[in-house]
Every structure is written in structure tokens, then in C-alpha cells.
A and B are shown apart, each in its own frame.
Chain A
Amino acid sequence: MAEIISKPSDSLNIVIVGHVDHGKSTLLGRLYADTGSLPDGKLEKVQAICRQQGKEFEYAFLFDAFLEEQEQGITIDTARTFFGWKGRHYIIIDAPGHKEFLKNMISGAARAEGALLLIDALEGVKEQSKKHGYLLSLLGVRQFAVVVNKMDLVGYRQDVFDGIEKEYREFLEQFKAVPQQIIPVSAKLGDNIANRSESMPWYSGPTVLDALGAFRKEPGRSEQPLRLPVQDVYKFDARRIITGRVTAGRVKVGDSLVFSPSNKRAVVKSIEAFNIEPPPIEGHAGQSVGVTLDEQIFVERGEIASHQDELPLVSTAFRANVFWLGRKPLERGRRYQLRVATKEVDCEIATIHRIIDTMDLAQQQGSSVVNKNQVAELTIRAKTPVAFDLSVSSESTGRFVLVDEYDIAGGGIVTELVHDDQEFLREEARQRDFAWVKGQVGVEDRAQQYGHRAAIVLVTGGRHTGKSFLARTIEARLVADGRHAYLLDGENLRRGLDADLSEGERGQATEMARRYGEVARLLVDTGLIVVSTTNPFGMAYVEAAQAIRTLVHPVPVIAVHMSKAPEEVPPNTDIVLSGPADFDAATRRILEELKRRGVLAQAIGAKPIFQYSI
């Protein structure tokens, strides 16, 4: 046994992956023993259990902390253990290789800073060897070494090792993964683990511990463009603090920030911290920070703060590589929750392009489901616009998970932005918002003054369904309650703003919706609750509603759909009224919805409680 070394403070998360029975637990046991990291009594305790069960002692047993696991002979979950070596503390996440436990391997690898991938020299490259190699790449684990184990069972032969190295490198090359090292070892006998093997004089590369020592802490994310996803907004005292973890770049006091997708802008006034003197003036990648801004803008969880010249992408759709772990298969058309950084939004799988067979990376087309443990290329469509990056340009904001019912059921990386039909309007809104000239009165000031936030109640539906009457009723009721509401009627635009257009130009629903949306944008900026209908757009109300939504974003749009008989409603509809309408009941429902969305305070006259000011 090595001498007892001092336990260091610096640490690195390492995951050990590979095919079942290729020797992960044995390698771990060996690393522990050879670095002198075992607590007193641990070895004796495991040896005693082995005697009790009539088994020969193996290094692997040291880490199978649960007795059940030892009976099964496989590691069930990502067990974490620690050992120290040359000034660094290694946190080892022992990821199981058994096929059924891919979920745990992925959980382990997702938090790893480096990986060891084991291949059995006798068995060669197996299914899980390939799958795990591919998943490491998908999960963003760039630092890894391939460990060819059980060299003692093949007579320490170089040709066997060379064959495996060639085969595996060729496989990895297909997705541009390059291992730091490929090391021939025998974990059982201790060859090339801590000590150089005398049985393999043909190998001159590093030992496993040398390879681990060469792994670096996460490099250089602070030099990338700033990404600060908003986690929460606190108002425990006089300070209104926006919190989040900087996933890339740096944020400094005095920085001008843009929040996407709302396009809100503000300057960082301070960086807040508890028990740190003097207070910090900068936060960098990895840090959980809190900032205050020079003005009280409405930003919420899920938005990404960046600098104006390095904005993230914004769309409702993207293409991605996804691994699926759910009990139920992933289905096209089914609803899931999408989480990108701190954004949580409903989404659906628009297209399953292909299933990727991780054995040979062949692509199978034409599936409508993705089964558990499969990897697939998908297009995902979110209910509302999401800020994100491509995985290759900014890792943390370029990956996401999918939640099915209550559990995280899959994860993936964004490979491509998918242009949606709102792209041009969204860009118009972005440019317009950046250049927007503000008065001294902010959104929050108006909200405090009026006792409510700005919003749009938009009534959609076919002809003669009572939209106009309902809109009038809502406006009247809001004003009677002391709210600041206004009925925007399309007819008034037609005769004024649009009076210079020809009949043909007026027939272009897209342009008419754009004009309508920009007028609505001005009105909501005054703090009003705008009540309107899609009457001017006839049957093109679905497209018009979407355009208006894009142009007034992030002001809440309460969409009410009216029809004589049940029919398919436009996306993002909040309230459906079909059949003969009870206008009073409908108005009450709409007021409730305004309260639920935080536009109106819960009681008239009481201090308004808005979601965004806590």
C-alpha cells in the first residue's frame, strides 16, 4: 500500500464509463488502493462481507456500497467516491455500464469534467463502448482517455491493443471526438494504473493517473460572449436583485445588458453579494450572481442577458440531437416541457428526422417514435419564443432537457436554428426595441400609477361570432372597475393610418397585421390594457394573432377564441368560448385570467401584486 498522502482541496469530477463487465469498478478499487485513499477499516469490512458470502475478494466490491448490488454484480447508480493524487481531489462518478442503466450513466457523465472509457482487451469494442463514446461527445465531455483493460488476459500483446485502438479511433472520428490518451492496463494486477507496467515495454505513454493529472479544470468559458440566464428576481429588501448563473463570459458593473427574447435593456448598477467586502464589480462564467439594474425593467426567469453585439438566437423552433430516457417513447406531436437554461416552456416534437444507431452511426429514417435509450435527430417547436445558442458556439445555452409529466426524460444539444414564419417580424421588433427612445417614466412607474400592467386581450374567431360585442363589454367593464383600457378597432386604422393604401395593399393580411401590431405596441407602451379583435383580418385570424403577439412581445396577450360550434382553436389560445355566448360569464373569466397572469392585482384598490416585482 502506498504511503498516506495529504488530502488536497482542489477537485475534478471524473466519470468512468464503458461496457458492462469491462472492469470499471475494479479500476476504481485499484485507483483507491494505489493512491492510499481508503479509510481505515474499509478494506477489512469488504473482505469480511466477501468471507461471509463465500466469495473471493475483488477490488470492485469496495465501491458497491449496497449489498444488493454485490449480489447482482452490477453497479446500479452513479455512486460518487473520492481519492486524492498529486495535489488534486478526484470525485469519481462510477457510471454503470449495464444497458438498462443508461439513464444513470448519462446523469453521471453530464456533471463530469473528464472521463475514462474502458474497453475489455479480450472482448474488444462492444455496443456500450460505442454508445458511451458517442454520448460523452453529445453530453459535452471533451476530455477523456480510453483505457484498454484486462491486458493480462491477452498476454499483454501489442497487436491486440493496436487493433482496438485503430477500430475505436475510427469510430470516434465520425463525430470528431479525439481521446486524450489510449492506455493499455490491467486494473486487476495494477499495470499502468499508478505504476508503469513492466509487462508492456512497448507502451511509453502515460499511466491512468498521469492521464487524469493532465485533465484541466473547465477551460476558458469566461472568454466567450456573455450569457446570463435569469434564474429569479428577488425583492427581499429595498434592492431588486436579478439572479442567475453566468454560463459564459463576464458581467461587469456598468455593462449595458440586453435580455432576450424580450429585448429589454438596462445597465448593471451593482453586483450584490453577502459577506463579501468590498462588493464585487464583476462576475464570470460559473458564478451564481445577483445584479441590480439602473432602471426597473420587466424581466423574468428564462430570459438570457447578453451584450448587445453578441446576442443569442431567438426562435420558436430548432433542430437538435436528443437522447431519450423516458419510460414512455418520445412521440411526434406530443406535448413536453422544454427547458433551456432557466427557460421552461411547453413544446412539441414537430419532426423526427431520424434515429441514430450508435453502434455504427447509421441513420434509420421514418420513425414516429423514439424509444428509451435511443438517440435521434428532431425538430422541436416551442409554444413561445426561446433564447438559445447552437451547442457548438455556447455549450450551456445550446443544450436542453425535455420533461415528460414529472420527470426529465431526455436531453439534447441544439444543432441548427429553424426559421419560423415570425422571423422577420421578430427581427423588426428587436431592432425597433433596441432603438426605442424612452421617456423618464418607466413601465413599472406606469404600472404602479395605474394599478395594473399593460396587456392585450385579443378576441379571435370567424365572422359573426360576437367578437366585437364581447370586446366592447370587456372594455366597458374594465373602465367601470377603474382600469385604463381601450378598444382598438381595426376599422379606425383602415380609415386613418391605412388610408393611403390601395384596395390590393389592404388585402395583404401580413402587412395589415404588422401595422396593427405596431399600433398595439405603442398603446401598450402607454400602460393600457388594449382590447381588440381580429375582425380586420377575416379568416386569416390565426396568422394575424401570431404576428401581433410577436410585435408586442413580451407584453401578455390573453387570447380568447369565439366560435358558434366547437372547432380547432389557434395556438396559444387561453380561453375558448364556443356556442351561444354568455357575455357576462365570459367577461368574468377574462378578468380572472388577467389576475392569474399578474396583469391585474387580486383586489381592486389593494396594492397591486405583480409577478415581476414580487
Chain B
Amino acid sequence: MRHLRQLEDQSVYILREAYKHFDNLAMLWSMGKDSTVLLWLARKAFFGHVPFPLLHVDTSYKIPAMIEYRDRMAREWGVKLVVGQNKEALAAGMNHTLGRVNCCTALKTNGLKQLIEQKGYTGIILGVRADEEGTRAKERYFSPRDKHGDWDFRDQPPELWDQFKTTFPPGTHIRIHPLLDWTEINIWEYIKFENIPFIDLYLDKGDGTRYRSLGCAPCTTPIQSSAKSVDDIIEELRHSTVAERAGRAQDEGRGMELLRKDGYM
């Protein structure tokens, strides 16, 4: 499992760089497999401690089991949880039937922006991976966002060797991506290797379906699969040619490009 240790070493280095350079740092946790691995890596980097809060942007449409898992793990690992919600948009009746990009923008992107502004975070750690979809392949490990949270993918600062963008003008913030080099298989291999507790929505519980990627209930569909263990999942992924996020409605058309330019995770 040498390759997993190599990925771990790079992610841990990035997390420690982030902690060293950002006074007001937070990590986004969606309770999915990636950000849960990220949380585990933070415990690795800081020797069992998580020296920054975990953020969850709650759209109110999440699968209930995710919220239960969130609260249980936060208690068990003694991490500080900060939950944000775009209450205004929800009060105005925002939901996916008003357009998926609209709904994601209001409840997730704007929910996150509100939280960042409110708490004054200067660094946000996220579990995005380069192999997930096209726009994420273009990310840097340390990726600047302007005052409006926008991402200028055409003019990104260079990233050389182990040197990252850790200085930034006031009013802007940096998105930090320690998992950029990990693949979906690596994530599951690592979950198995380290025995990381994960949410069981990823497993088939007898009806021949499971979730491969988790999001809001109305916009995420389970896949046909009989994978009942992590081993089954890894075996299935090794032979799959279906995109990981095929069950995620927001990826259709130019959805993700539009979302991410405006500050979506």
C-alpha cells in the first residue's frame, strides 16, 4: 500500500502548510467518502487533533442518514462543527424544481459564501479530486478566490514543487485541495487500509442499489450495484467505465463549469 502512503504524505504536507499559513482556517465536510477521508488525514497531520472547525453547508435536502452520521462522528472525534444554511433562500421556497443550477447556487455556493463572510475564514480546505470531473482537473492545491468567491481559472498563480500560494490580498480567500491527486479507488483503498468509519449509504443493503456519490436527496440517484463491502466497491470500480458523478444531476451540460466559476466547491 506504498502508493496510499505517498498520497497521504502529500496531503498531510498540504494540510500542515495550510495550518501554518492561515489564521482563520476551516474544513468543509459533506460527510461523503472524500471529505471524511480528508478529515481522517487532518487527524493524521495533527496527531489525533483537528485544530480548525468543520463546516457543513446544510441545504435541508440532505439524506437524513447523513445528518445522523455527521453528528455522531463529530461527537466521537471531538471536532468542532459549524453548520451554515441559506435560510433566506429556503424561506423564499428555493428547491431543485426551480432549476438545478439555481438551487445549487443559492443553497450551496451562496450558503458557503455567507458562512465564509460571517466567520471571516481566509482558508477553506475541501476534498475535491482532479479525476471527479473536468473543471476540478484544472485546480491547484492552493487556489485563490476573489472577494465574490469567483475563480479565475484562466489566470491561476503557478504552483512549483512543494511551494503553494499562501499569501493573498485582504478580502480574498484561498481554497485548499489536499486530495487533488487521489482517485476514487484510492479513496476506498485508504478507507479500507485505515479502517475509517464511513456512511453505509455507499453499500448495497439488499435492494441491489447503492450510492456512489452523495448529495441532496432529490438530485442524487443510487446506482445499480450489489457491492456490500469496501472490497466489493473497489472490485466494482476497477472494472467500471461509468463516470463517478453520473448520478449527480448538476453535472449535466455546462452545469459544473458555471457553478464552479462562481465559487461552488
Contacts and interface: CB of A to CB of B under 8 A. Distances in A.
B224 interface: no
Contacts of B161: 110-111, 396, 399, 401, 411
A239 B47 contact: yes
B16 A65 contact: no
B138 A78 contact: yes
A285 B162 CA distance: 14
B20 A403 contact: no
B44 A406 contact: no
Contacts of B160: 106-107, 110, 401, 408, 411
Interface in B218-259: 237-239, 241-243, 246, 254, 257
Given A106-B160, A232-B20, A9 B186 contact: yes
B154 interface: yes
Contacts of B181: 11, 13, 91
Nearest to A38: B241
A286 B9 CA distance: 7
A275 B2 CA distance: 16
Contacts of B168: 406
Given A4-B239, A10-B3, A232-B16, A106 B158 contact: yes
Contacts of B153: 66, 76-77
Interface stretch (A79-87, A162-170, A429-437, A566-574): A79-87
Interface stretch (B59-67, B84-92, B127-135, B208-216): B127-135
A587 B135 CA distance: 56
A408 B185 contact: no
B104 interface: no
Contacts of A111: 159, 161
Contacts of A104: 156, 158
A301 interface: yes
A531 B134 CA distance: 61
B46 A9 contact: no
A80 B130 contact: yes
A273 B48 CA distance: 9
B238 A6 contact: yes
Given A77-B153, A408-B157, A231 B46 contact: no
Interface string B177-200: 000110101100100001000000
A245 B9 contact: yes
Given A110-B161, A399-B161, A7 B238 contact: yes
Contacts of A403: 167
B243 A274 contact: no
A408 B9 contact: no
A385 interface: no
Contact of A77 (B43, B156, B165): B156
A325 interface: yes
A299 to B, nearest CB: 14
B185 A7 contact: yes
A463 interface: no
B43 A245 contact: no
Nearest to A109: B160
A111 B161 CA distance: 6
Given A107-B140, A408-B157, A243 B16 contact: yes
Nearest to B186: A9
B246 to A, nearest CB: 8
B47 A241 contact: yes
Given A40-B241, A287-B9, A408 B47 contact: no
Contacts of B194: 275
Contact of B131 (A10, A80, A239, A411): A80
Given A288-B16, A406-B168, A408-B157, A80 B137 contact: yes
A89 B13 CA distance: 22
A67 interface: yes
A25 to B, nearest CB: 13
A41 B246 CA distance: 10
A401 B49 contact: no
B159 A236 contact: no
Nearest to B4: A9
B69 interface: no
Interface string A236-265: 110101010100000000000000000000
Contacts of B9: 245, 286-288
Nearest to A91: B181
Contacts of A81: 131, 137
B243 A288 contact: no
B237 A274 contact: no
B46 A234 contact: yes
A111 B130 CA distance: 14
A325 B162 CA distance: 17
A82 B138 contact: no
A338 to B, nearest CB: 11
Nearest to B257: A66
Contacts of A405: 167
Contact of B158 (A6, A66, A107, A301): A107
Contact of B163 (A4, A76, A239, A401): A401
B248 to A, nearest CB: 14
B6 A325 contact: no
Contacts of B43: 274-275
Contacts of A65: 133-135, 137-138, 257
Contact of A82 (B17, B20, B163, B183): B183
Contacts of A103: 158
Most buried by B among A40, A301, A406: A406
B169 A9 contact: no
A11 B44 contact: no
Contacts of A4: 239, 241
Contacts of B39: none
B45 interface: yes
Interface in B112-144: 130-131, 133-135, 137-138, 140
A589 interface: no
B157 A407 contact: yes
Nearest to A41: B243
A426 to B, nearest CB: 26
A272 interface: yes
A328 interface: no
A39 interface: yes
B151 to A, nearest CB: 11
B16 A231 contact: yes
A374 to B, nearest CB: 15
27 contacts: A4-B239, A4-B241, A7-B239, A9-B189, A41-B243, A65-B135, A66-B135, A66-B153, A80-B137, A82-B183, A89-B183, A110-B158, A110-B160, A236-B49, A237-B48, A243-B16, A274-B43, A274-B48, A396-B161, A399-B161, A401-B161, A403-B167, A406-B165, A407-B157, A407-B158, A407-B167, A408-B157
Given A7-B238, A38-B241, A408-B163, 15 more contacts: A7-B185, A9-B4, A10-B3, A39-B241, A40-B241, A42-B243, A77-B153, A80-B137, A104-B158, A231-B16, A231-B20, A396-B162, A401-B161, A406-B167, A407-B165
Q: Which 5 A-B pairs have the closest CB atoms?
A: A65-B134, A288-B12, A80-B130, A236-B49, A39-B243
